[in-house]
Structure formats: structure tokens, C-alpha cells
Amino acid sequence: MSRIAYYRCSTADQSIEAQRQALSGPFEREFVDEGVSGAVLAADRPGFAALLGYVREGDTVCIYSIDRLGRDALDIQATIRRLIDKGVTVDVRGLGPIAKGVGELIVAVLAQVAEMERQRIRERCDAGRAAARASLASTGKTHRGKVSLGRPVAHDRNHVVAWRKQNAASIATTAAHFDISLATVKRYCAAA
């Protein structure tokens, strides 16, 4: 019977080390998915797939929080069931060990709560983008004072394309002249 840890973080402002410190080790093995979005199914993540191949009946998999396991309520439930069917106990920090029966019910409820939170975040993001578009259309700036939605425009596309044609310049020369990236020049020229 092994105690195994699984950590996942998707962005640079999340930390595997913070999850490691929050869980009470030591662990025989640790599996990590760093820089992997929660939108990826658990079984499709390299670290979690390796964990699934490693765990045996009687093992305990420790995780920082339930949302580290799956992309949505259904994925979390399927992942927990898959582990439980292998005879593995899932120990969630602050929740405790999850096994068949009542543990599965608790996971179903928590997974639904996590899914509702993700849906609220999506709705807030959509509302923010709509407000930004409306403000941009009426005032020329977003509700946050930016002049565009997305990344700022490096240079006027038409000016860059015209200069390149007029000077028969390469993409690299054009990029250097305007102090912009090669990708930006390629994007501007492709749209012309």
C-alpha cells in the first residue's frame, strides 16, 4: 500500500510547491502535470496517465483539491470511479478519504459545485468582454480604458505592408525597421 501524491497547475501563478506543502507527505511517488490546463481530460494528462498506470489496489492517492482531478463534474466523477474501481482510495485535502458509497456521493456534489463555479467564471468573462465591446463601440475605449480588446496594435498594418512593398523589404528587414516581431509582420502581410 503506497501513498501517492498528484499535483496539477495550469498557470505560472499557481504552484506545485504550494500544493506539495499543503499535503501531508511523505509519499512513495509523486505525479505532476505542470502547465496543463484543467480543460484537458484527466486521463489525457501525461502525469495523471502515468499515475493511472502505476497505482494498485490498496494505494492512496492524495490531491490538493477536487478540481485538480478533472475538467468538469463528469470527468471528476469518472476519474474518482476509475480509481475506486481499481481499489484505490482518493484522499482530498480538507475532505478526507473517498471510497465507494457515501464518498462517491460527496464527490458528485463537490464536482457539481466546482462545475457551477467554472460556469460563473465563464459568464463573468463573457459579461466583461461584452461590456468592453459596447464601451469600445461608443467611446473608442473599453470600460477599463484600453484602446482595443486583445493585444495592443504594434503599428498600423496598412503602413507596415505599404512600407514593405515600397522598399521591397524582406519580412526580417520590415520587422527590424518597425521594431516588431517577425510573426506580426507575417500576420500583417497575410491579411493584406
| CA-angle at 12, arms to 76 and 186, nearest 5° | 105
Say how many residues make up the chain.
192
Question: 79 near 45, Cβ under 8 Å?
Answer: no
Neighbours of 113 (CB within 10 A): 13
The residue with cell 509582420 is 185
The residue with cell 494498485 is 56
End-to-end Cα distance, the chain: 63
Residue 26: cis peptide before it, omega within 30 degrees of 0: yes
Mind giving me the DSSP string for 37-55? -TTS-GGGSHHHHHHHHH-
Amino acid identity, position 87: G
Neighbours of 116 (CB within 10 A): 11
Q: Is 10 a catalytic residue?
A: yes
Catalytic residue among 10, 65, 135, 148: 10
Neighbours of 152 (CB within 10 A): 7
Active site residues: 10
